Structure 1
């Protein structure tokens, strides 16, 4: 028992090098910074009567029950108001949300993915700007940059997640690994040892567009020549045929023996079940899957293990984080005072704590107390050297899909050079 606890303590040691800087003026979870504006808001009614039914559009079906409890408490506080959840699967939400919420037929309060979807919704003038409202002060300033553009705060990223493989630490114990691998050879050795013990070393949802690319975040974090490498690929300043990305694809090829059968066609539900049943050592999605794994009956302890794709000396980052689930008020909503009141309610530290502990999601709200055992288990990552998840730098989803499809093609057996060339052709066509 003592050695197992020592192993887990070692695996969760705080990084000594501080925190990595992300993009969009957003430091790592434990960093400081941020430039929330104090200018007056535009076009948001916050002082009227809190009444009417608020439609809340989001993609987290697994949060429905926890949110229902919070909605019940909100209605007790504001008896003339109500909230109805409008939930779509994440992949559908990513492709259809703008069409659905435009004009406020649904989504008086709505969420957006960081990056391309947020940018699209801002351009469509669907967000009612929050700049100058009191709700902004309830959030950690260094984490809400992805909800701002050109000095205006349009939305508030509610969730703080880690887009890196979730680990069954009992499996790691059985494989003889007392600490996280510090280089690529060490990561492959971990996978070898898990395989030798009868586990699927790395469960990867290669058939799910929304989640297949989560692994890409950590595969490139130390390979990329700059933190904005994907932005540069989209702009044409870099290519996926460059050496660093070819190296990444070659490393994907090296993962083939360690993935489940038919990995390129596997759904997130299938690999989550494989992991929850204790048959896989690592789940290549992220911390946002913890509650889903628990819901399937898993009792083993969690941690996060990111592949370090370089040598220990060259590694700049230990992992990646993301702030997403960008909450906002619809500019066309006919119940804006009630919608804003619900946003305020969710942003109260006590209510945000109910959400966090009930759903297994860290949040960006200041002063939240975490009592959930799984959130406590991965809490050391809040102070480690992490990079803002790079896959969301892509603002053109077709370009992002082309890049991510290259990784799927390589896992499926295609040569890295060929997969990169095919992806680059798509990128060039999109930019022409």
Structure 2
């Protein structure tokens, strides 16, 4: 009798477990199907992921996204912005399997090579919105005859200067190396704490190296040749660049401990008028203007040669390349979003909100920050040399040689150490 009761209890237990499992499985199937169909929104809606590194542009993008969702009520846009260093190191992982980044932005250079090499950027060559971009600025997003990225931003990677302060001390943007040293000396003698604030703690080397070397080595394929072993950083052009950076540092023109200053801190120092120049680029001008709207700013490039030997007046970069994830199952919706972002009315909102020059036709620039940059579109500027380095180890070695000089290593020795690393990477 006890055995019969035990058997019945066992049967009922098994039956209950089987019924519970069936119910849970049905709920799970329904949930997964709904998530797949709606993309996380209401029934019949799709949600696309838009990822990038410019958190400071979030408010402007939110305006444009609101307008986009009003025109396309069946498409929601989920935007995420990450710190630039994290974004550079993790983008490939984020894109795999279409998990995020239906629309994503990427840097030219190493990141572009990595993402396109992994087959994670879709070919958007045939899309109508490609024709809205100025031809000369979009080649950086091409590979093997296909367009994988459309650089939205036109940046001038040359120091920003405090025009108000320059006027006070009777200074003009210098035209040669001796003039650049004299400007720094005058600022220092007048008690300016940082004649040129140089944020070498995170991003400064990769920016400041460009105008410093642009006339020391005129070959625009120089870094390609270094990567292929045809040229070396132990040659005069790079050693001279390191010597000139050392000269600025040894004279105290970078202030105290450039290796301890971050990009954000440098912007604040400059906005507080503790510096005459900011060794970054035009992309910092809007941030500075927000902190100090009374400061009048301009752009200048250190000319490291005589005026007669100068060829390039400055550096430009086309960056923030808009791309579609090849592994996304929402490519059509992603393309609609890029089409909307690149319309003149959307582009004008973004440009004037963020203080960014763009690579698009028919943008209406209204802000003071942008009007200060416009003259540079007519100057003889060179594409940022650092972004022609596509080997991460080579890039680290080059930037590391600048760090070495800032810590007291002689330029020739720093260049030799860098070349040893480059040789190993090849």
Same fold (TM over 0.5): yes
Q: Is it true that 1:404 corresponds to 2:392 in the alignment?
A: no
Equivalent in the alignment of 2:236: 243
> Conserved in 2, the CA contact under 8 Å of 1:360 and 1:375?
yes
Q: Is it true that 1:321 corresponds to 2:316 in the alignment?
A: yes
Rounded to whole Å, the distance in 2 between the matches of 1:338 and 1:81 is 7
Equivalent in the alignment of 1:97: 91
SS at match of 1:94: helix
What stretches of structure 1 move > 6 A for 4+ residues in a row?
none
Q: Deviations over 1:194-242 (max 9, x none)?
A: 112221110011110x332100000000001411112211111111110
SS at match of 1:111: strand
1:312 equivalent among 292, 295, 307: 307
Q: Deviations over 1:309-368 (max 9, x none)?
A: 000000010000000101011111122221111000011011111111110101111111
The correspondence of residues 300-379 of structure 1 with structure 2, limited to 5 A, is 300-379=295-374
The correspondence of residues 68-107 of structure 1 with structure 2, limited to 5 A, is 68-107=62-101
Rounded to whole Å, the distance in 2 between the matches of 1:114 and 1:206 is 21
> Conserved in 1, the CA contact under 8 Å of 2:95 and 2:327?
no
Q: Deviations over 1:119-149 (max 9, x none)?
A: 1111111111111111111111111001111
SS at match of 1:308: coil
The correspondence of residues 142-221 of structure 1 with structure 2, limited to 5 A, is 142-177=136-171, 179-199=172-192, 200-208=194-202, 210-221=203-214
2:255 equivalent among 256, 260, 263: 260
Q: 1 or 2, which has the higher helix percentage?
A: 2
Larger Rg: 2
The correspondence of residues 276-287 of structure 1 with structure 2, limited to 5 A, is 276-287=271-282
Q: Which runs of 5+ in 1 are unaligned?
A: 1-49
Rounded to whole Å, the distance in 2 between the matches of 1:204 and 1:299 is 22
Q: Deviations over 1:246-280 (max 9, x none)?
A: 11111011111100211112111111110011110
Deviation at 1:171, TM superposition (A): 1.4
SS at match of 1:239: coil
Q: Is it true that 1:116 corresponds to 2:104 in the alignment?
A: no
SS at match of 1:324: strand
Q: Is it true that 1:424 corresponds to 2:419 in the alignment?
A: yes
> Conserved in 2, the CA contact under 8 Å of 1:277 and 1:298?
no
Rounded to whole Å, the distance in 2 between the matches of 1:185 and 1:297 is 30
Deviation at 1:294, TM superposition (A): 2.3
Rounded to whole Å, the distance in 1 between the matches of 2:45 and 2:187 is 56
2:217 equivalent among 205, 214, 224: 224
Deviation at 1:407, TM superposition (A): 1.2
Q: Which runs of 5+ in 2 are unaligned?
A: 1-43
Q: Is it true that 1:138 corresponds to 2:117 in the alignment?
A: no
Equivalent in the alignment of 1:53: 47
Deviation at 1:51, TM superposition (A): 4.8
Deviation at 1:175, TM superposition (A): 2.4
Q: Deviations over 1:72-99 (max 9, x none)?
A: 0000010111111111111111111111
Which deviates further from its counterpart, 167-176 or 106-115?
167-176
> Conserved in 1, the CA contact under 8 Å of 2:152 and 2:318?
yes
* TM, length-normalised to structure 1: 0.86
Deviation at 1:162, TM superposition (A): 0.4
Rounded to whole Å, the distance in 1 between the matches of 2:235 and 2:370 is 38
Higher relative contact order (CA 8 A, sep 6+): 1
Deviation at 1:185, TM superposition (A): 0.2
SS at match of 1:92: helix
Change in CA separation of 1:299 and 1:104 when aligned onto 2, cut-off 3 Å: farther
